[in-house]
Chain A
Amino acid sequence: MNAARILAARKGIKPKVEEVAIFYDTFIENMMMFGRINDLSLVAAMKLKTDDLFNDLPLGLKLFERGKLQPFKFPSGASEFRRIYERVQEKERGRRSRE
């Protein structure tokens, strides 16, 4: 399943629900920034990218009230994740150039 997703993305084939691909990209960007996912910034970025700002607003406020969406999180492990990500990219570039 993952292999099919990766190949489709490389060929520029979009998933039926386009938000899925946007979500994966946004998730990786969030890992780059924080190392651990920050829910509030992940949800906010998704809502901005998919132009869906108001649908879940009442629910978002309830979660915020309950302290479930924390406004800021100190980055923890972001540099480790970026280092791993870059090494993976290097390896994969090397593999593809050999193919």
Chain B
Amino acid sequence: MKYAYYPGCALEGMNIEYNVSLRNLFDRLEIEVEEIPGWICCGTLAAPSTSRLLGLSVPLWNVAKALEARHDQIIAPCSACLYHFKSALHELEEEPSLVSEIEEILGVPLDGKPKIMHPIELLSGEEFETIIKEAVVNDLSGLKVVCYYGCLITRPPKVMQFDVAEYPQSMDRILRWAGIQTLDWACKTECCGANFNLLEPEIVIDLSNRIFAEAKAVGAEAIVVACPMCHGNLDTRESEIEAKFNVQYDLPIFYFSQLMGLAVGIPEAGLGFWKHVVDPGKVLSAKWEVEDSTPVTLKELSRER
């Protein structure tokens, strides 16, 4: 089974380490993916805020390209892209008269309704329990983390149709299969401030502070995320949050794919830890001997795959 893969713009730029670690993890677990040929930005919040038709057409262009390449399952690791794909397909289902209008705009047919999945949805399937457990070569059981799902992976539930909307478990499950301790906490789906990082950072600073405080209170040593925007907000603003609230959190932010990648033995250079603003070295080296993490260039990082 080969899945269509839509990395999205964030995973080509600011969040390249998510892309590289995830593709390495897929390789290690023998999950075959193929990037959608000629994909374009999903339009995120900007396109649907400009025009309803534009907000539908842009993600559906990518869906049409995946269908054209004979894929019926698309993996979208960015939760914003994931939401816009699922939301566009949901709207077409609710209002079938839109299909011909969108096809006219795109100039290509929309033959079929592919399943759109976050990688966590794929990996948390029962069939992956044994595969993941058998792939583990590094013992990470000493590391205690909280899983932060953010707003969009499970909500709105009518559109996303995945996991329990307010208290999801799927990321916890796959990390536990990889031997990592995940803790219960109250902020799994709290908002981190989303795209206000660029517009009004104070909103991000205040909202994310609650997430850090709760993670620290339950004894977490790191926060694990599955969304590039959540990673960006928490990782880039942690020091300002600590300064504003006069606290010391010292919590690195990992993608689930980085920690799982470490557990299944992917070399550090193929996981991109050095790209983080908050240095994860202290937490990682306290748990086991880390390799030389000399920074590598972007090209070298991509070649590690």
Contact = CB atoms under 8 A, between A and B. Distances in A.
Interface of A: 2-3, 5-6, 9, 17, 19-20, 23-24, 27-28, 31, 35-39, 43, 46, 55-56, 59, 62-63, 66-70, 73, 76-77, 80-81, 83-85, 87-88, 91-92
Interface in B101-129: 101, 104-107
Given A6-B52, A35-B41, A92-B51, 12 more contacts: A2-B55, A23-B195, A36-B41, A37-B13, A39-B9, A62-B277, A66-B275, A73-B12, A73-B13, A76-B38, A84-B58, A88-B53
Going nearest first, the 6 A-B pairs with the smallest beta carbon separation are A77-B40, A27-B46, A37-B9, A19-B199, A24-B46, A39-B13
B64 to A, nearest CB: 11
Dominant SS among interface residues on chain A = helix
A36 B13 CA distance: 10
Given A28-B47, A38-B13, A84-B54, A63 B41 contact: no
Q: How big is chain B's contact interface, by range?
A: 35 or more
B40 A76 contact: yes
Interface of B: 9-10, 12-16, 38-41, 43-55, 57-58, 61, 101, 104-107, 195, 198-201, 236, 274-277, 295, 297-298
A63 B201 contact: no
B70 to A, nearest CB: 20
